[in-house]
Structure 1
Amino acid sequence: MAKHDILGYFEHRRDGAWVCVRPFTLTTRSASIDIRQGQRFDYGKRVGGLDLAEYLEQLGSQFGS
């Protein structure tokens, strides 16, 4: 999967949060984490050593979301 494909698993909400719309497994350098549909990620919430909301925002800026 290309790194920007992760955007298809999330919806960006008006309040800035990202919410998972399809379950998947996030694999980082430090862990593999099952992300469930409906899980919400706000800035500062680290998952597998990654601020997921910030990462998704960066990808969205580069690839459109």
Structure 2
Amino acid sequence: MDTHQILGFFEHRTDGAWVCVKPFTLTTRSASVDIQRGMRFDYGKRVGGVDLAEYLERLGSQFGS
């Protein structure tokens, strides 16, 4: 999967949160984490060592969210 394809697994809410719409496994350098549909990620919530909301925001601004 290309890096930006992760955006297809999330919906960006107007309050700034990212919510998972399709389950998948997030694999980082430090962990492999199952992300389930409905999980919400706000700034500061780290998953597998990554602030997922911040990461998705950067990708969204680069590739469109």
Superposition TM-score, scaled by structure 1 size: 1.00
Give the letter for the 2:47 counterpart. Answer: V
- Which residue matches 1:5? 5
Separation of aligned partners in 2, 1:21 and 1:31: 21
The number of residue pairs the alignment matches comes to: 65
What's the secondary structure of 2:37's corresponding residue? coil
Q: In structure 1, what is the equivalent of residue 38 of structure 2?
A: 38
Identity among equivalent positions (%) equals: 82
1:16 maps onto 2:16 in alignment: yes
Distance 1:29 1:63 in 2: 23
Unaligned runs of 5+ in 1: none
Q: Deviations over 1:8-45 (max 9, x none)?
A: 00000000000000000000000000000000000000
Instruction: Give the unaligned 5+ runs of structure 2.
Output: none
Q: CA RMSD in A?
A: 0.2
Residue 38 of structure 1: SS of its match in structure 2? coil
Instruction: Give the SS at the match of 1:61.
Output: helix
Query: 1:62: Cα distance to partner?
Result: 0.3
